[in-house]
């Protein structure tokens, strides 16, 4: 608690007039009072105009506090994997500050690929420290929209296809960030599972699918993670925009889940004052008052929750009950963030932050295939290393939309490899193909000149010649952050690799057997060459330490332990949304030109229901290219036989599964024990299996450990839409334990009474 002298000192800054009275501290500033009392006191002092002012932006990224009372402004910032640079007051372009560069952390696909909850806490804590140092109060992230289609341009900002994995990985991140007195804003609530038509679509989904697949990460974020804010999405559900949606915000979030935090709109997601007032929105950002396409400068008074709201109250058409509820939520948030005198100061680019970024990158990289143990690179077998591909030299932290960053530094793959192998190796580079030579987002420039006018043939020939005379060939390609790749606002146009990469890879595979393909992307891609390529690594957008993390894996300094957070289908039609569901929207409506503007929205039916990702592959017996949960190591692990502490359980019981894991290889490494549950007989159709527990274990060569995972009936339940409740049906279940959704090593049956 602050000493009285300190409080008086604080008051001197806030309002000299309080000093004259000296002894009376207003309740809202008195830290000996409860937050509830302080909120009520502040509320009672505020005018109607001050209350309404608090509900909407005053600049691109800030909202006003109450200047007269010394209640500070809220400063928000993107985003999920690093703190966004400062933009001008009312522009997206740069403010031109020189003190706003930061560390970029691996994108969230990489974080979830670690399957390591501790990493998620480290990530959140470090990122929150950077946000705090940059004086931000609300961090616009993490993103937890479920991976429904590999074409979604924003999948790299999310955590994959599984609601359980996403829920477990997001909670520590939130707690880590918020331990700094910086709120998270978990986004985009809800059903924003594609970028195409994000402003002009209406999602049609059944309740069971909504509750089983798309809502759990948000529920975990607010109920377990206690995210102090949540961001509404752009799309519509039941014909109402998500950021002003009665069903999502009032009925589910605030009533069912008892959410007491602040609902923030996505930028420009509000378009109706009455709905914004009544349907659960608390804080409006980014509106354009004449529609979403054209902005009006400094139009903050014209926001839907600004003057129009005030007019409705003044004319008596609307009461003040909703207003006070919104302001109370914002004041509560203020006491946790802006008015929290105990929050730390934060720091930027500490050695610890760099180490965390590097380690998460290493743990997130997934070794998809390593036929003949091409990796790790062994210089005894030869030291001529060819690095081929544009992504080895392309800056990836600039671009991709709102998560674009201005970094202190970004270690590129080629530089990371060169610095790791130093003089011991002869590292040569060939471009192989030209993809995107851009490198600017909102005025942040990568500073790279990637222009190369050579023809595709010339580039290919150079690469092939280099590959022929090398001992190792490392191709670093994939997607990038330019439009229609992994980028906000648009989806990818096709599932294949862009820019002639398939041809380059196929040609390289023919001339060198020591060949590894490294894919830098946030999405699955088609791999028509997979049979000819011995080794494939899924590297994500790894941020500032990208090159160092990759070099550690290539060299074997770090042993791969990442696991896929989503399935890689062989072809697009093998993905449920493309096979059975609607993407990018209803076909007839698409043909009729729907979705072009908000007056003509397009419907997207999630006909595939709960069968998303591996749930679909399993059920339809469609073999994926690489399964959810898949990831190899340079070591080998042996699973013992699973045991259970009970074979019959009641609805109230917990049940524990134990399995012995042994590192049978020659290197220290980590394995992820994955527990899937299968309902052997059910009155409703259920997925073949669903992830319900996981644990990452580190083992030295020869070492073994017992791993126990405990579940209760929530792991056995499905959502009964008619009853509107979760039901665990009595009967036989099976626990399937393995190291991938398609590598079940041991099973054990049990019965629920």
- CB 423 to ligand BGC: min, Å: 45
Q: Which is nearer to ligand BGC, 138 or 661 (CB)?
A: 138
Q: Given the complex with ligand BGC, which of 115 and 189 has the nearer CB atom?
A: 189
Smallest separation, CB 55 to ligand BGC (Å) = 17
How does 170-200 read in b/e, with b if 16+ C-beta sit within 10 Å?
Answer: bbbbbbbbbbbbbbbbbbbbbbbbbbbbbbb
Residues near ligand BGC, by CB under 6 A: 78-79, 140, 187, 266-267, 402
Q: Which is nearer to ligand BGC, 58 or 411 (CB)?
A: 58
Could you tell me the smallest distance in angstroms from the CB atom of residue 139 to ligand BGC?
10
Tokens 């007051």 correspond to 89
- The phi and psi torsions of 115 (rounded to 5 degrees) equal 50, 35
Q: Give yes or no for a contact between 463 and 419, defined as CB atoms under 8 angstroms apart.
A: no
How many Å apart are CA 188 and CA 143, to the nearest integer? Answer: 6
Query: Measured at the alpha carbon of residue 752, what is the angle toward residues 651 and 645, in degrees to the nearest 5?
Result: 90
- Tokens at residue 132, please? 């705090």
Q: Is 447 exposed, middle or buried (0-12, 13-18, 19+ CB in 10 A)?
A: exposed
Contacts of 629 (CB under 8 A, 6+ apart): 563, 564, 614, 672, 674, 691, 738, 739, 740, 741, 742, 743
How many contiguous H segments (helices) and E segments (strands) does the chain have? 20, 29
Shortest distance in whole angstroms from residue 596 CB to ligand BGC: 19
Could you tell me the smallest distance in angstroms from the CB atom of residue 524 to ligand BGC?
22
What's the rounded Cα separation, in Å, for the pair 240 and 231? 15
Alpha-carbon distances, residue 264 vs 244, 261, 281 (angstroms): 10, 10, 7
- Contact by Cβ (8 Å): 421, 379: yes
Cβ atoms < 10 Å from Cβ of 5: 8
> CA 75 to CA 88: how far, in whole Å?
13
Does the CA dihedral 29-32-35-36 come out positive or negative?
Answer: negative
Residues contacting residue 743 through CB under 8 Å, at least 6 positions apart: 627, 629, 630
> Rounded distance, CA 117 to CA 298, Å?
42
The closest of 140, 666, 149 to 404, measured between CA atoms, is 140
What is the Cα–Cα distance from 228 to 186, expressed in whole angstroms? 9
User: Catalytic site residues?
Assistant: 266
Cite the beta strand spans of 190-275 per DSSP E: 201-204, 229-232, 236-237, 240-241, 262-264
Nearer to ligand BGC, 7 or 186 (CB): 186
The distance of closest approach from Cβ of residue 288 to ligand BGC in the complex, given in angstroms and rounded to an integer, is: 12
Diameter over CA atoms, the chain:
84
CB of 62 to ligand BGC, least distance (A): 12
- Taking the least distance from each CB to ligand BGC, the nearer of 233 and 414 is 233
152 three-state secondary structure: coil
Dist CA 217 CA 130 (whole Å)? 25
Whole-number CA gyration radius for the chain: 26
Cβ proximity to ligand BGC, 78 vs 363, nearer residue: 78
Smallest distance, ligand BGC to C-beta of residue 245, A: 16
The three-state secondary structure class of 626 is: strand
**Token pair belonging to 140:** 């616009």
Edge-first strand order for the sheet with 62-63 is 62-63, 74-77, 138-139, 183-189, 229-232, 262-264
CB nearer to ligand BGC: pick between 293 and 683: 293
C-beta of 52: minimal distance to ligand BGC in Å? 22
Tell me the C-alpha to C-alpha distance, in Å, between residue 58 and each of 237, 252, 544: 28, 29, 32
Q: 591 CB contacts (<8 Å, ≥6 apart)? A: none
| Residue/partner pairs of 33-37 with CB below 8 Å, 24 or more apart | 35/332, 35/335
- Relative orientation angle of helices 351-364 and 546-555, to the nearest 10 degrees: 50
Compute, in degrees rounded to 10, the torsion defined by CA atoms 503, 507, 513, 514: -60
């Amino acid at each position: 608690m602050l000493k009285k002298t300190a409080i008086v000192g604080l008051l001197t800054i806030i309002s000299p007039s309080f000093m004259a009275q000296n002894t009376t501290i207003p309740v809202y500033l008195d830290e000996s009072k409860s937050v509830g009392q302080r909120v009520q006191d502040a509320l009672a002092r505020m005018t109607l105009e001050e209350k309404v002012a608090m509900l909407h932006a005053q600049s691109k990224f800030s909202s006003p506090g109450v200047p007269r009372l010394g209640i500070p402004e809220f400063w928000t910032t993107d985003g999920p994997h690093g703190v966004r640079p400062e933009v001008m007051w009312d522009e997206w372009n740069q403010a031109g500050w020189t003190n706003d560069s930061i560390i970029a952390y691996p994108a969230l696909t990489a974080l979830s690929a670690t399957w390591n909850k501790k990493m998620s806490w480290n990530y959140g804590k470090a990122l929150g420290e950077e946000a705090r140092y940059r004086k931000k109060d609300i961090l616009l992230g993490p993103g937890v929209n479920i991976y429904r289609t590999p074409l979604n341009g924003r999948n790299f900002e999310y955590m994959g296809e599984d609601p359980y994995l996403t829920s477990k990985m997001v909670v520590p991140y939130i707690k880590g960030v918020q331990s700094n007195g910086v709120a998270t804003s978990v986004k985009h609530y809800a059903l924003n599972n594609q970028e195409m038509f994000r402003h002009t679509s209406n999602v049609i989904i059944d309740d069971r699918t909504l509750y089983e697949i798309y809502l759990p990460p948000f529920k975990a974020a607010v109920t377990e993670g206690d995210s102090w804010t949540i961001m509404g999405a752009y799309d519509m559900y039941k014909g109402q925009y998500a950021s002003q949606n009665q069903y999502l915000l009032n009925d589910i979030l605030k009533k069912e889940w008892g959410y007491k935090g602040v609902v923030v709109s996505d930028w420009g997601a509000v378009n109706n004052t009455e709905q914004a007032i009544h349907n659960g929105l608390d804080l409006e950002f980014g509106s354009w008052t004449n529609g979403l396409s054209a902005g009006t400068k400094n139009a903050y008074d014209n926001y839907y929750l600004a003057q129009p709201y005030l007019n409705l109250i003044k004319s008596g058409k609307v009461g003040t009950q909703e207003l006070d509820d919104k302001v109370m939520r914002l004041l509560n948030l203020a006491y946790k963030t802006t008015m929290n005198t105990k929050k730390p100061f934060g720091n930027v680019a500490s050695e610890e932050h760099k180490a965390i970024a590097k380690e998460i990158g290493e743990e997130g990289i997934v070794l998809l295939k390593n036929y003949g143990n091409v990796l790790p690179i062994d210089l005894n077998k030869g030291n001529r290393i060819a690095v081929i591909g544009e992504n080895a030299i392309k800056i990836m932290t600039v671009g991709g939309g709102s998560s674009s960053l201005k970094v202190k530094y970004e270690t590129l793959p080629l530089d990371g490899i060169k610095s790791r192998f130093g003089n011991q190796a002869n590292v040569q580079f060939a471009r192989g193909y030209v993809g995107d030579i851009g490198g600017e987002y909102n005025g942040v420039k990568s500073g790279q000149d990637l222009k190369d006018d050579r023809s595709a043939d010339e580039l290919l020939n150079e690469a092939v010649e280099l590959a022929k005379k090398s001992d190792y060939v490392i191709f670093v390609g994939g997607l990038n952050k330019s439009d229609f790749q992994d980028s906000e606002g648009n989806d990818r146009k096709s599932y294949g690799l862009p820019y002639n990469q398939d041809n380059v890879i196929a040609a390289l595979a023919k001339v060198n057997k020591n060949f590894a393909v490294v894919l830098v992307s946030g999405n699955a891609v088609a791999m028509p060459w997979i049979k000819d390529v011995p080794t494939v690594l899924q590297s994500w957008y790894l941020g500032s330490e990208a090159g160092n993390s990759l070099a550690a894996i290539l060299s074997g300094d770090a042993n791969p332990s990442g696991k896929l957070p989503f399935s890689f289908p062989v072809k697009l039609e093998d993905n449920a949304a493309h096979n059975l569901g609607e993407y990018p929207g209803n076909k007839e409506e698409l043909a009729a030109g729907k979705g072009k503007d908000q007056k003509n929205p397009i419907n997207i039916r999630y006909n595939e229901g709960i069968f998303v990702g591996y749930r679909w592959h399993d059920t339809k017996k469609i073999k994926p290219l690489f399964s959810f949960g898949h990831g190899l190591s340079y070591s080998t692990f042996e699973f013992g036989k699973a045991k259970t502490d009970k074979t019959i359980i009641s609805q109230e019981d917990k049940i524990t599964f134990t399995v012995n894991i042994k590192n049978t290889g020659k290197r220290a490494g980590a394995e992820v024990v994955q527990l899937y549950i299968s309902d052997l007989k059910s009155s409703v159709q259920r997925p073949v299996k669903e992830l319900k527990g996981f644990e990452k274990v580190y083992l030295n060569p020869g070492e073994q450990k017992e791993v126990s995972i405990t579940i209760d009936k929530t792991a056995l339940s499905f959502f009964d839409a008619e009853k509107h409740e979760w039901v665990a049906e009595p009967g036989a279940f099976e626990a399937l334990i393995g190291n991938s959704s398609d590598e079940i090593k041991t099973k054990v049956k049990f019965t629920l009474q």
